[in-house]
Amino acid sequence: MTIDAHTHLFPPSQAQARDAIAARDAGFAEIYGDPEAAIADAPALLTALREDGIEAAVAAGFAFADEREVAEQNEYLLAVAAETPRAIVPFATVNPAGAGWEREAERALAQGARGFGELRPGTQGWDPLGEAGRRLAARAGEAGAALIWHSSEPVGHRYPGKEGGLSPAELIEVAKAAPEVTMVGAHLGAGASFYLSIPEVRAAVPNLLFDTAATS
User: Which domains are assigned to the chain?
Assistant: 3-210 (3.20.20.140)
The mean pLDDT of 184-197, rounded to a whole number, is 92
Give 135's pLDDT tier (boundaries 50, 70, 90).
very high
- Residue 14 CA to residue 92 CA, distance in Å, equals 16
State residue 214's pLDDT score.
79
The mean pLDDT of 111-137, rounded to a whole number, is 97
Residues with Cβ within 8 Å of residue 202, at least 6 apart in sequence: 196
Give 204's pLDDT tier (boundaries 50, 70, 90).
very high
- Residue 146 CA to residue 72 CA, distance in Å, equals 21
Tell whether the model's pLDDT for residue 156 goes beyond 80. Answer: no
Average of per-residue pLDDT values in the chain: 94
Q: What angle do CA 29, 34, 42 make, to 5 degrees?
A: 85
- Alpha-helical segments (H) within the chain: 12-16, 18-24, 26-32, 42-52, 67-83, 101-110, 121-124, 131-143, 168-177, 192-195, 199-204
- Count CA atoms closer than 13 A to 203's CA, side-chain side: 3
State residue 1's pLDDT score.
85
State residue 175's pLDDT score.
98
